[in-house]
Structure 1
């Protein structure tokens, strides 16, 4: 544990709180700002987006973890286990209505980002960290570290590598402290921001 932070696997009843935490965590994210530049609309959209992703894809893979201190959720992570990072057609169909409501006419930008990431996703089996975020109100208190260490211990025990895309250049050094290295850059077409591809081999 990190400073009294409890990390555990999320259940369906955790999704609303998880979505709110991630929505606040990614409010100022460059990719999310490009996808929905209007602040009030982005604030409404992001919890719906993360709720749909967690509920209709990540929970089934068993890779959703939340971090709490004294019962209050401060961070969450959405992981895909090896071989499961691609959403099934059924999952995409279940998510689509919520995403369309959340993003409206900006849905096309969301789809373009998703397709870009899919085209450049590594083929080697790995754990995929799709989303990691802590509530801005408790940022720096160790919630992200606790979530990372909890999952990376399992990855190392399995001898499995990990992959992520950092959507903020300022977060690259943070991930490097956990053993990730930059392997490439993805720039979203049409004037979009850059994402940094990062890979971590298993320790030991």
Structure 2
């Protein structure tokens, strides 16, 4: 059965944030930032909703994958030259982040600053977040999202970049033409992230 990929609308933010919250519940970086399972389960949808509403939607590069109308996965991309959040966006997101993460917000800032310091300077499409609901993982939703945006990258002659927060996902991204270009180790005993770059085809 066909998987449909569409651009997200503001009215769909709540639904896509729930999917991403479930997708990232067992993510090593998220577990390190918010070790308590119950708090993490509650916080992640709020965080993804704030990021999408206040930053990603304006870039017109949020995509959803559905089958028979059921939302299975979402991807948050930044177009070339737009990966950094503005001061206005940061201020809009801050209350949600502080409320959701409570005493763990310092860890979130450490991860964010590490990623910013090592972000490539060359213009590129940035895949900040992609995730499938665990109930449909492996059914092709993520593949449909990747193909949709990477086809555009190739048409534009633009590279793409991401950080994989799971070592087990690195081979998955290699299949789409990404290559590992570095490793980011979160200070203080934190997890590792793999920087991956894809030249256009």
Offset from partner CA, 1:138-180 (integer Å, 9 cap, x none): 0000000000000000000000000000000000000000000
Among 136, 139, 142, which residue is 1:138 paired with? 136
Q: Aligned equivalents of 1:51 and 1:101: distance in 2?
A: 13
Match of 1:58 among 56, 68, 86: 56
Residues in 1 aligned to 2:117 and 2:103: alpha-carbon distance in whole angstroms: 23
Unaligned runs of 5+ in 1: none
Q: Which residue of 1 aligns with 2:32?
A: 34
TM-score by length of 1: 0.98
Residues 28-81 of structure 1: CA deviation (Å, up to 9, x unaligned): 000000000000000000000100100000000011000011111000000000
What is the CA RMSD across the aligned residues, in angstroms?
A: 0.5
Count of paired positions: 201
Normalising by structure 2, we get a TM-score of 0.99
The corresponding residue for 2:102 is: 104
Report the Cα distance in structure 1 between the residues aligned to 2:56 and 2:156, rounded to whole angstroms. Answer: 20
Quote the offset at 1:25 in angstroms.
Answer: 0.2
Question: Hey, what's the Cα distance between the residues in 2 that align with 1:48 and 1:101?
Answer: 9
1:12 matched residue in structure 2: 10
Q: How does 1:32-181 map to 2 (within 5 A)?
A: 32-181=30-179
Runs of 4+ in 1 over 4 A off after TM superposition: none
